[in-house]
Amino acid sequence: MNITWPNFNRNQLILIVSGGIVLLLLLFALLRNSDNTVTLEEATKLIENNQIEKAFSDNGYTYFATKNEGVVKISSSQLPPELTANLVIEPKSGNGWIWFFLFFAVIGGAGYWAWKNRLGFEDDSPLEAPIVKAAAAAEPEVPSTNVTPAKSTVRFSDIGGIGDVKEELEEIIDFLRNPKRYYSFGARMPRGVLLVGPPGVGKTMIAKAVAAEADVPFFYQSGASFVQIYVGMGAKRVSELFSAAKKNAPAIIFIDEIDAVGKKREGGRNDEREGTLNQLLTEMDGFEETSGIVVIAATNNIDVMDAALLRAGRFDRRIFVELPTASEREAILQKYLRHIPHDLSVSDVAKMTVGFNGASLAALVNEAALLCMRQKEIQVKQEHFLAVKDKVMFGKKKIAMLSDEQRRYQVRYQAGKVFAATWFDLPYEKITLTNDAITPPTAEPQLRHEIEAHVRVHLAGIASSHLRFGEHASNASHDLSVAKDLVHAMIYEYGMGSSVLPSEEDEAKLMDRLYTEMSTLLERNEKILSKFEAILDEYEHISKALARATMHEIL
């Protein structure tokens, strides 16, 4: 496309130049401040002699409209407060400027439109314009985004049980507060911090706490929000996010569930997800060391993330946020129970919530408080926690109606699991006829004998039923499935078979050995097993404390 510029004659050029000079002179006359400056002594005399008709302030100066000397000004910092105590000083009005700039905006716009209409467009291809218009009409309208920062109010004091994580992040907070200290020393902070851990452990709250402690803007996005149906829209969102953060630096960008956009790239593919990931990599590489931007991301599964995101210079600091320990659970519970009247041992509640994350503990406290209110009691007690614990972990289940024969099988089945869980000292609070609530192994690293103990518990019900009835019921499917998964992991993931190289034969041999050992142990302790049956048949539940006392009494 060729553009033919208009030919201006001499008179037109003179007119344009003259108009520009007139505009400059008008702006100079309006912007020039011609008010006289007076001393403090002169200002005092004007105020004491009641010469001030009006006072207003603007840009660090106080202006006085006087009766005889016109408008004078004095620096506001020179005026003592007692001198102007009886004066009403108003901010200077700027409405005149609004009309002035509107006038010149209209004149300038009209001039630009008139000048543009003088241009002649010569198109080399007469078909190009209709094709471009048709393509533009066919393209879908891409929604615009408005990236705004949030001010986090979550503090580390609001989060319990994150002592180790807090220590790791103190450096990041100090860097955002005092970046010059690190630059002068020649050190640089990591551009990205990756929080890795299971759902519900508080990764988002930790990122918010970092922003609040450092007192910087907090930009939150989920990885899924970058995955768009429009081509190029995900990359655009990434670009807008980082641009907004740079304008508000120092700032924190938090990307939750980053694995949604940061998954490993597959060869030969060039889809929207990979385009968005490439844009994210480019933005993180484009950081200057003095930009003051720190990217914090969270993921539940670091194994699926692209290696380019994890290399040094991007997410080069990884912080693992694990499930809370007993002392950490106690600290979390203390936070949630601050404003709830209670009469209980928090440490006891912490011990019975093995495997709970922060979110589960919050739900547990809330459910216990609601139950307390429903029962019209004035304080939450440990019984309320025991009553709602299973509901929080597994949801509310409808208890199946059992026939007399089915009940006998179920009592025997659960008695076997009570014996195994107590014998191997696995964490549980109580076991009922319909639920055992035994937490699977979560600690890392897991020792072989610890995993084998869990497998034996899941096989104990089947072994116990066969010792009494010669068969077992179909409700053993869940326990059998868990046992198979644990044994499979031992052989194929942990190398705990007869050799390091896994084989199906090792898997079958390990399962058979553990079942046989459990069956033999139950047979030798039939007296204890029968006692557990009697307790379950009468009360339909048994606590670990009672099971342990019963076992010690008989042994």
DSSP state of 493: T
pLDDT at 227: 66
pLDDT for 51 beyond 70? yes
CA distance 482 to 488: 10
pLDDT tens digit sequence for 455-475: 999 999 999 999 999 999 888
Q: Which amino acid is at 356?
A: F
CB 472, CB 413: distance < 8 Å:
yes
pLDDT of residue 416: 95
Reduced to 3 states (helix: H, G, I; strand: E, B; else coil), residue 81 is coil
Residue 45 pLDDT: 76
Lowest mean pLDDT, pick from 20-29, 56-65, 325-334: 20-29
Q: Are 55 and 89 in contact (CB under 8 A)?
A: yes
**β-sheet bridge partners, residue 37:** 73
pLDDT for the residue numbered 518: 96
> Cβ(415)–Cβ(464) under 8 Å?
yes
Question: Which residues are within 8 A (CB) of 188 and not within 5 positions of it... i.e. 6 or more apart?
Answer: 182, 289
Instruction: Please name the helix (run of DSSP H) or strand (run of DSSP E) that holds residue 296, with its range, or none.
Output: strand 293-299
Q: Which of 42-46, 116-120, 152-156, 297-301 has the lowest mean pLDDT?
A: 116-120
Across 216-230, 415-429, 512-526, 530-544, least confident range: 216-230
- The answer to whether 271 touches 227, Cβ cutoff 8 Å, is no
Q: Which residues of 92-107 are buried (b: 16+ CB within 10 A; e: fewer)?
A: eeeeeeeeeeeeeeee
Mean pLDDT over the full length of the chain: 77
Angle formed at CA 553 by CA 548 and CA 555, multiple of 5 degrees? 95
In sequence order, the 6+-apart residues with CB closer than 8 A to the CB of 541 are 430, 431, 432, 433
pLDDT at 359: 85
Separation of alpha carbons 160 and 140, rounded Å: 48
As given in the structure block, the two tokens for residue 532 are: 């557990």
Confidence of residue 112 (pLDDT cuts 50, 70, 90): low
Q: Predicted confidence band at 132 (pLDDT cuts at 50, 70, 90)?
A: very low
Scored b (16 or more CB within 10 A) or e, 458-481 reads bbbbbbbbbebeeebbeebeebee
The pLDDT, as a whole number, for residue 121 is: 39
Confidence of residue 530 (pLDDT cuts 50, 70, 90): very high
| Ramachandran class of 380: left when φ > 0, alpha when ψ lies in -120 to 50, beta otherwise | beta
110 backbone dihedrals φ, ψ, rounded to 5°: -65, -40
Task: Please state whether beta strands 192-196 and 71-75 pair in parallel, antiparallel, or not at all (unpaired).
Answer: unpaired
| Among the ranges given (265-274, 300-309, 393-402), the one the predictor scored with the smallest mean pLDDT | 393-402
Q: Provide mean pLDDT across the span 214-228.
A: 78
Q: Of the segments 58-62, 325-329, 333-337, 525-529, which one has the largest average pLDDT value?
A: 525-529
pLDDT at res. 225 = 73
- Residues 6 or more apart whose Cβ sits within 8 Å of residue 399: 434
Mean pLDDT of 339-346: 91
Q: What integer is the mean pLDDT of 87-100?
A: 59
Cβ-Cβ contacts under 8 Å for 30 (sequence gap 6 or more): 100
As a whole number, mean pLDDT of residues 155-168 equals 76
pLDDT band for position 104 (cuts 50, 70, 90): low
Element housing 438 (H / E):
none
Q: Which residues have C-beta within 8 Å of that of residue 162, sequence separation ≥ 6?
A: 156, 202, 206, 321, 328
Q: Which residues contact 488 (CB under 8 A, 6 or more apart)?
A: 507
**How does residue 441 score in pLDDT terms, banded at 50, 70 and 90?**
low
- Residue 466: its pLDDT value, please? 95
Lowest mean pLDDT among 36-50, 197-211, 441-455: 36-50
Q: DSSP letters of 365-388?
A: HHHHHHHHHHTT-SSB-HHHHHHH
pLDDT band at 368 (very low <50, low <70, confident <90, very high): very high
Alpha-carbon distance values, 542 to 418, 531, 533 (Å)? 8, 11, 10
Q: Hey, how many other C-beta atoms are within 10 angstroms of the C-beta on 503?
A: 13
Judged against a pLDDT cut of 70, whether residue 442 lies above it is answered with no
287: helix, strand or coil: coil
As given in the structure block, the two tokens for residue 488 are 């499979």
For range 252-259, the mean pLDDT: 86
pLDDT band at 98 (very low <50, low <70, confident <90, very high): low
Instruction: Evaluate the CA torsion angle 237, 239, 242, 247 in order and state its sign.
Output: negative
Q: Which of 112-121, 192-201, 315-324, 367-376 has the lowest mean pLDDT?
A: 112-121
pLDDT above 60 for 229: no
**How many residues does the structure list for the chain?**
555
User: 431, 479 in Cβ contact below 8 A?
Assistant: no
pLDDT digits (tens, 9 = 90+) for 373-430: 999 999 999 889 888 887 776 665 544 556 788 889 999 999 999 999 999 998 887 7
Return the pLDDT at 319.
85
pLDDT at 4 > cutoff 50:
no
What pLDDT, on a 0 to 100 scale, did the predictor assign at position 137?
42
Predicted TM-score of the model (pTM): 0.52
19 has a pLDDT exceeding 80: no
DSSP 150: B
Read off the tokens for 378.
Answer: 């004035």
Q: What is the pLDDT of residue 337?
A: 92
Q: Go through the domains of the chain in sequence order and give each one's CATH number.
A: 2-26+97-138 (no CATH), 33-93 (3.30.720.210), 156-320 (3.40.50.300), 326-394 (1.10.8.60), 404-554 (1.20.58.760)
Q: What is the 3-state secondary structure (H, E, C) of 136-187?
A: HHHCCCCCCCCCCCECCCCCHHHCCCCHHHHHHHHHHHHHHHCHHHHHHHCC
Query: Which segment of 159-173, 449-463, 483-497 scores lowest on mean pLDDT?
Result: 159-173
* pLDDT of 206 higher than 70: yes
Q: What pLDDT score does 548 carry?
A: 93
Q: Which of 328, 321, 329, 332 is nearest to 168 (CA)?
A: 321
Q: Give the per-residue pLDDT at 1.
A: 46
Q: What pLDDT score was predicted for residue 535? A: 93
User: Closest Cα partner for 66 from 33, 36, 23, 41?
Assistant: 36
Q: Cis link prior to 250 (omega < 30° from 0)?
A: yes
| pLDDT tens per residue, range 166-186 | 777 888 888 888 877 877 787
Q: Band of the pLDDT at 215, cuts 50, 70, 90?
A: confident
Which of 387, 335, 379 has the alpha carbon at shortest distance from 158?
335
Percent of the chain with pLDDT over 90: 20
**pLDDT surpassing 50 at residue 127:** no
